[in-house]
Chains A and B, each alone.
Chain A
Amino acid sequence: QQQVKQSPQSLIVQKGGISIINCAYENTAFDYFPWYQQFPGKGPALLIAIRPDVSEKKEGRFTISFNKSAKQFSLHIMDSQPGDSATYFCAAGPGSQGNLIFGKGTKLSVKP
């Protein structure tokens, strides 16, 4: 019930393409769904977050799509750039202990 399943584990996209990362959750009590971006040697940084009362949120080239009935949400990166190459984590919360539950991460590589 506390799990967040993320796919794919790794993703290779050409520059200018669309990167899509998917996550699924089980606990319907979750009401906060952030995406974090992590570069090698750095801590995760909040990229964008959504609440379940909206189906989509867009910030620049980054869009979260949220499907409450399916208990799924996804990150779309439009016009992907080599600088977007990083590991992306979806998360959901708060968990039963007030923490965020993280997916296992997707390593994105954008080829020039």
Chain B
Amino acid sequence: DSGVTQTPKHLITATGQRVTLRCSPRSGDLSVYWYQQSLDQGLQFLIHYYNGEERAKGNILERFSAQQFPDLHSELNLSSLELGDSALYFCASSVGSGSRQETQYFGPGTRLLVL
């Protein structure tokens, strides 16, 4: 158990809908990273938050957004969902800001299926 929690574990929804994925980092970790994992693309970095502020954006679609709250939990919002958004979504946390080498601890993921 990494200490990172994600809810829900599974999510089934329809095209055009909006969903929210939740992540609680390990105790003491200030950074939260979101990744999308699909069969053909591997682990793709989406976005990074550090202590409530957005630090970096990766391959995140404009339909997707995220935020990190004062208690450091983070939410990833996916809207106008398309079939191709079906994937595993992982969050990871680390102690610092990510500017130096540090271990990222991954949560168990949320499996999203868009029908």
Contacts and interface: CB of A to CB of B under 8 A. Distances in A.
Interface of A: 31-32, 34, 36, 41-46, 49, 51, 89, 93-95, 97-105
A42 B105 CA distance: 12
Contacts, number: 65
* Residue in B55, B102, B108 whose Cβ sees the most chain A Cβ within 10 Å: B102
Contact of B45 (A43, A51, A99): A99
A32 B106 contact: no
B16 interface: no
A97 B56 contact: yes
A46 to B, nearest CB: 5
Interface residues of B, number: 27
A43 B56 contact: no
B29 to A, nearest CB: 14
B98 A43 contact: no
Given A43-B2, A51-B101, A94-B101, A100 B45 contact: yes
Interface string B95-115: 001111111111111000000
B99 A98 contact: yes
